[in-house]
């Protein structure tokens, strides 16, 4: 057990380097974080790597200050702030943290209780750590951006269906809405994965996407999840029905949306860090939705999206995990668990 007055182990970086470079991620020691009134101090048992970790690691100029990455985490509450009401020491939790605070790639982590959920009892820490960031992104996409309901009908196209967000979004859409889901996958293993997640149709996004959509739904899809929007706007204008909607979760530069105007297509941005960064009044909705996801997992309605697990949590294994995500060929989620 680490005492709050001691140092803790962490994995961090100081400058953007290729992931193959041994100094791209480093094993370091840091002071145990101090917690605020609404914070939990969590003993981290497992973390997962998301594209945001890769982007941040690769895009930093040299600095003497080490930055700890990591957003997804599952672990045990060690201590609570004076104003915490939702959790107590000993509770097992999972969450996705915030981009404006130190990350979860550390033995102990401070996080606002409002964005934390109770870990599914039926999952171990590693399987639980695969879920939070992508589940929040998928949930906010479906129910905050698209504003879908249980009786919502339409055709939802999930591009990159085997990715982390796509894997959980397909499941949520099939469980909680009446949408028909078309998912894209370009390899046999990813196509099989999205079928397991519940997609009604699987198509190859690398071969005549418009023609394949036309064969399934001649009038066009009504909703699109876009994890890679650059170069896709003309295609979207072709395959989306008039009045359709798109949610983009990437950050393309210089995007020209004018081709979408003729069909009055709505463009949404989704960033799951918006609530914690801006301390919105409804920030607690992230904790609540994670509790709902946890309950659905325990009821057998959702499955973990973990595909590959590495151990222990150290710089070497996190570099390996970053390399898998950076390859663009990851299926599901990569999780790193345990401390030596």
Given this model, what pLDDT does residue 64 score? 76
H-helix segments, 217-314: 233-239, 274-278, 284-298
> pLDDT of 112-131, one tens digit each?
999 999 999 999 999 999 99
pLDDT at 2 over 60: no
pLDDT at 329 over 90: no
Q: Which fold has domain 7-131+304-337?
A: Quinone Oxidoreductase; Chain A, domain 1 (3.90.180)
pLDDT band with cut points at 50, 70 and 90 for residue 3:
low
pLDDT at 101 over 60: yes
Mean pLDDT across the chain, nearest whole number? 96
Q: Which two tokens stand for residue 63?
A: 């600095």
Handedness of CA 170, 130, 48, 149 (dihedral sign): positive
Average pLDDT over residues 75-79: 98
| Phi, psi values for residue 161, rounded to 5° | -65, -20
CATH architecture of 134-269: 3-Layer(aba) Sandwich (3.40)
pLDDT at 24 over 60: yes
Residues of the chain with CATH 3.40.50.720: 134-269
Residues of the chain with CATH 3.90.180.10: 7-131+304-337
> pLDDT of 190-230, one tens digit each?
999 999 999 999 999 888 999 999 999 999 999 999 999 99
pLDDT at 334 over 80: yes
Given this model, what pLDDT does residue 4 score? 55
262-295 b/e with 16+ CB inside 10 Å = b? Answer: ebebebbebebbebbeeeeeebbbbbebbeebbe
Average pLDDT over residues 243-257: 95
pLDDT band with cut points at 50, 70 and 90 for residue 60:
confident
> pLDDT of 297-310, one tens digit each?
999 999 999 999 99
Contact 69, 13 (CB under 8 A): yes
Q: Exposed/middle/buried for 65, CB within 10 Å: 0-12, 13-18, 19+?
A: exposed
């Amino acid at each position: 057990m680490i005492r709050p007055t001691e140092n803790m182990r962490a994995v961090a970086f100081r400058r953007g380097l290729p992931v193959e470079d041994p100094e791209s991620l480093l094993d370091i020691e840091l002071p145990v974080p101090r917690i605020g009134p609404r914070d939990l101090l969590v003993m981290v048992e497992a973390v997962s790597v998301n594209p945001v970790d890769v982007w941040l690691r690769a895009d930093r100029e040299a600095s003497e200050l080490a930055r700890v990455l990591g957003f997804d985490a599952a672990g045990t509450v060690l201590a609570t702030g004076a104003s915490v009401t939702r959790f107590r020491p000993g509770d097992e939790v999972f969450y996705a943290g915030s981009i404006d605070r130190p990350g979860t790639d550390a033995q102990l982590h401070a996080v606002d209780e409002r964005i934390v959920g109770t870990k599914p009892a039926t999952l171990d820490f590693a399987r639980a750590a695969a879920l939070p960031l992508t589940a929040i992104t998928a949930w906010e996409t479906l129910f905050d951006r698209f504003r879908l309901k249980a009786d919502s009908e339409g055709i939802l196209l999930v591009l990159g269906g085997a990715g982390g967000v796509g894997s959980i979004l397909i499941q949520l859409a099939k469980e909680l809405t009446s949408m028909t889901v078309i998912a894209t996958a370009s390899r046999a293993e990813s196509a099989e994965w999205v079928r397991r997640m519940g997609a009604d149709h699987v198509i190859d996004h690398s071969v005549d996407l418009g023609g394949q959509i036309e064969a399934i739904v001649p009038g066009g899809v009504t909703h699109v999840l876009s994890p890679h929007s650059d170069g896709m706007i003309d295609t979207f204008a072709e395959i989306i029905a008039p009045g359709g909607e798109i949610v983009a979760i990437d950050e393309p530069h210089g995007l020209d949306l004018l081709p979408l105007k003729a069909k009055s297509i709505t463009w949404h941005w989704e960033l799951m860090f918006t609530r914690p960064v801006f301390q919105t009044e409804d920030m607690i909705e992230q904790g609540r939705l994670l509790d709902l996801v946890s309950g659905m997992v325990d009821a057998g309605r959702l499955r973990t999206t973990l595909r590959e697990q590495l151990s222990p949590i150290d710089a070497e294994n996190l570099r390996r995990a970053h390399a898998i995500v950076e390859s663009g060929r990851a299926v599901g989620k990569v999780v790193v668990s345990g401390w030596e």
